[in-house]
Amino acid sequence: MAEVKICGLTTVDDTLRCIEAGADAIGLNFWPGSPRSIDVATARAIVEAAGDRVQLVGVFVDFSVAQIREILAETGIEWAQLHGNESPEQLAALLPRAYKAIGVKNRSAIELARTYPGEHLLLDASVPGLPGGTGRTFDWTVAAELARQRKLTLAGGLDPKNVTEAIETVNPFRVDVASGVESEPRRKDPDLVRSFIDAAKTAFSAN
């Protein structure tokens, strides 16, 4: 079953609304440079409220393996999404519940992705100075090729209006959205969340 991930949650209330709307996974961002960054205490509260109803993913940018393991242990988050310049060896140390996020400029991202181990992979747009959460799309044909080889999470500029086309083009394992369902930074819009999830689930069923 293909999945929908809502990323950049910052409150328990928003998280519960996303779960009720049908989200399969929730992303919690620990990169201090992100407007959606949260601390360990907030993450722990969100994890406790979510329970086992959804997969929980921590988003990290250039944290050490030891730092990531500590945060996962302190919060109860299950998965690590590595969005920085982490090496294949760092990712390997966190497997099986970790995956690399690759910023796509062009088709060279395909070869870069192949250097990282693991079953899962995330693709986002490459924007200078931003390790992720760009709010921009990229050439989905690059993603389509990798989606045939890995459990691919497609991110980058997705919203309720374009997620159907994205799924039809790429056939990913999962779609990932943050700013595309926000009413303002750090706040998810319940109507946009529901519209995105409904559109994605419909497209996955038909694809």
- Determine whether 159 is an active site residue: no
What distance in Å separates the CA atoms of residue 39 and residue 26, rounded to the nearest whole number? 15
Q: Do the beta carbons of residue 104 and residue 142 sit within 8 Å?
A: yes
Q: Do the beta carbons of residue 104 and residue 132 sit within 8 Å?
A: no
Tokens 């319940």 correspond to 190
Catalytic residue selected from 14, 18, 24, 124: 124
Catalytic residue selected from 7, 18, 159, 176: 7
Question: Half-sphere exposure (CA, 13 Å, Cβ side) for 94?
Answer: 31
- Determine whether 124 is an active site residue: yes
What distance in Å separates the CA atoms of residue 171 and residue 154, rounded to the nearest whole number? 9
- Tell me which residues are annotated as active site: 7, 124
